[in-house]
Structure 1
Amino acid sequence: MKSATTEKVLRRDAAENRQRLLDAAAAVFSERGLEVGVDEIARRAGVGTGTLYRRFPTKEALISELVRQVFSDFVAAAHAAQTAPRGEGLEQLMYGVGTVQATNRGCLSRVWNDDETAAHKREFRTILGELLDKAKSHGRIRSDVGLTDIDVVFWAMRGVVETTRGITESGWRRALAIMIAGLRPGAEHLDATPVTEDEFDQVVARFQPPARNDPDSQSGGVS
């Protein structure tokens, strides 16, 4: 019979292996995209493929957990931004989201359409709306900026992050600083209409990957 101490060590080792696999997957996917095989992820984590499959029965399960962690980080950044003074929380959050995106380049295409993160998405956008209202009330952001305008900024940042992968880590920061400058009060009138919530939903739906019916996508044999 296993002692309580032995079981505790085993649970700790399992948790550490799981996190090593997630860290390795984030790094490998960021470098080479989602097409990379799980064998490479296991090698990077320093564990066997059998260990990987015990933690994540399919490659899809591994990707889904990475996406969940990304949105969990988004929500954590949003909560931290709520304590910022003088309406500065929105900008703090925007830079926080950029940082999370930059360290999780490989799975960005899946962030907005994973069903497992629906609750995180709702919480994140609720806080985002509150921070936007505070930024407006403190005169940091122009009054005609809407929530979907900030969504578009996040999408634009994602594009810069993905485009500059492996070349520069500061490109998205410069782009975001320019976009925030354009959100300041006093800028000229905006003729273009904002993206509507319905259009936002349609864009998110467009990111949804096609259903995969091949057996490998549902089994440990995925590469």
Structure 2
Amino acid sequence: MNPNEPKVLRRDAAQNRQRLLDAAERVFTESGMDASVDEIARVAGVGMGTLYRRFPTKEALISALVRKLMDDLVAIAKTARDRTDGRGLEQLLYGTGEVIASQRGCLPRLWSDEETKALKAEYWRIMTELLIAAKAAGRIRADLTDTDIEVQFWAMRGVIETTRGVTDTAWKRHLALCIAGMRPGAEELVEAPLAERLARRVSSR
């Protein structure tokens, strides 16, 4: 066996791990990331010993959730890349919104987590490809930049967090309005796009 390959868990251990991840998503969404691991174990229906065998620290549990979230986002990006009509960017935006709206508890760590840098880089590479394709198809204005899309994600996160517990769909209307403003023929943009170095500073917060 290759020592670098991830260890395959027994069926019961894998089920316990998934129960803990599902419970953590629920607890963090309802109570924020300050929620205790005791509550997560209770919701998962397992003992604290089981939790600590799977996740030695709360940080390890959070990192696993963020990785799962980024895996889902990369999968959505790859699916959107298969489109040939220039609509892949829009599909990616809505798909990303669906994922982060359903897993709000980890949003503060989504773009700043150091353990998932490679996944985030892959996601942004695909997003840039989709932006280029959307421009070529005449779906998106030519002066839109990748940092404009990144700012849109920050705005969408703000809507999702602000409307938590009130409505789960406000972000969709907000996104539809933003996409309408991205169409060719809209008014000329006066402000310059956010510089990439500044976007990185914001994302790291």
Instruction: Please confirm whether the aligned pair reaches a TM-score higher than 0.5, indicating the same fold.
Output: yes
* 1:203 partnered with 2:202: yes
Q: Structure 1 stretches of 5 or more lacking a match? A: 1-7, 208-223
Superposed, which structure 2 residues align to 1:108-147 within 5 Å?
108-147=107-146
**Using the alignment, how far apart are the partners of 1:50 and 1:33 within structure 2?**
23
Query: Percent sequence identity over matched residues?
Result: 60
Cα distance in 1 for partners of 2:154, 2:69 equals 15
Q: Give 1:11's aligned amino acid.
A: R
Aligned residue in 2 for 1:33: 32
- Equivalences for residues 203-222 of structure 1 within 5 A: 203-205=202-204, 207=205
State the shift of 1:204 in Å.
1.7
CA distance in 2, matches of 1:70, 1:195: 26
Kindly state the Cα deviation for residue 34 of structure 1 after the two structures are TM-superposed: 0.5
The number of aligned residues is: 198
Q: Which has the higher contact order (CA 8 A, sep 6+)?
A: 1
Q: Once the two structures are superposed, what CA deviation does each residue of 1:143-186 show, in whole Å capped at 9, x if it has no partner?
A: 00000000000110000111111111111111101100110111
Cα deviation for residue 84 of structure 1 reads 1.7
Q: CA deviation at 1:85?
A: 3.0
For residue 13 of structure 2, give the secondary structure of its aligned residue in structure 1. helix
Q: Report the Cα offset of residue 133 of structure 1.
A: 0.3
What is the distance in 2 between the residues matched to 1:109 and 1:84? 30
Tell me, in whole angstroms, the C-alpha distance in 2 between the residues paired with 1:95 and 1:175. 11
Asked if 1:89 is matched to 2:88, the reply is yes
1:75 is matched with which residue? 74
Match of 1:103 in 2: 102
Question: Which has the larger Rg?
Answer: 1
Alignment of 1:121-200 (within 5 A): 121-200=120-199
Q: Secondary structure at 2:20's aligned position in 1?
A: helix
Measured after TM superposition, the shift of residue 50 of structure 1 is 1.0
User: Could you state the TM-score of these two structures normalised by the residue count of structure 1?
Assistant: 0.87
Q: Unpaired runs of 5+ in structure 2?
A: 1-7
AA of the residue aligned to 2:137: H
Partner of 1:5: none
Tell me how far apart the structure 2 counterparts of residues 55 and 43 of structure 1 sit (CA, whole Å). 15
Aligned to 2:4: none
Report the 3-state secondary structure (helix = DSSP H, G, I; strand = E; otherwise coil) of the residue aligned with 2:82.
coil
**TM-score if structure 2 supplies the norm length?**
0.94
- Separation of aligned partners in 2, 1:200 and 1:73: 23
